[in-house]
Amino acid sequence: MIVNKLQKAIYDCLKGQSTQNFNKLVGIFNYIDKNTDFPYLFISINKITDLSNFVKTIYDFEISINIFDRNSTNSFLFDISEEIKIIFANIYNINGEGFDIMDIRFKDFNVEQGDNGSIWKGILNFNFIVGEI
């Protein structure tokens, strides 16, 4: 299914990064155990809209990249989020079989503090317009 293929392609793209910020990550997940160490990324597909027409099957995926860190500052969240935005700015950085990424649009970035102020969460939201091949 195209959902699984896209999620794997995003995972592979991010997992393949070797910058200092990406090397700090404990992992990149689409399912999180409760006792996961920090920092880590969580990939979430929030909504899928069918934009298909008579010629091509097209979907709009609302995707969130959640960054979790246990740090006294939130500087890591901002640094790695900028890297992710740059990576996704070039649609050719994400490769997968059975689909073609037509467009990636950055929507917004939010930072939240939780767990009595000890955990920072950054949320990058994107729209991926994807066509099946």
pTM, 2 dp: 0.92
The mean pLDDT values, 10 residues at a time, for the chain of 133 residues are: 94 96 93 82 96 96 95 86 97 93 97 82 97 93
Q: Is 18 helix (H, G, I), strand (E, B) or coil?
A: coil
Residue 95: what pLDDT? 92
Q: Which residues pair with 29 in a beta bridge?
A: 42
For position 31, what pLDDT does the model report? 82
Distances (CA, A) of 83 to 6, 55, 64, 76, 77: 20, 35, 15, 11, 10
In our burial notation (b when 16+ CB lie closer than 10 A, e otherwise), range 84-110 reads: beebbeeeebbebeebebeebeeeebe
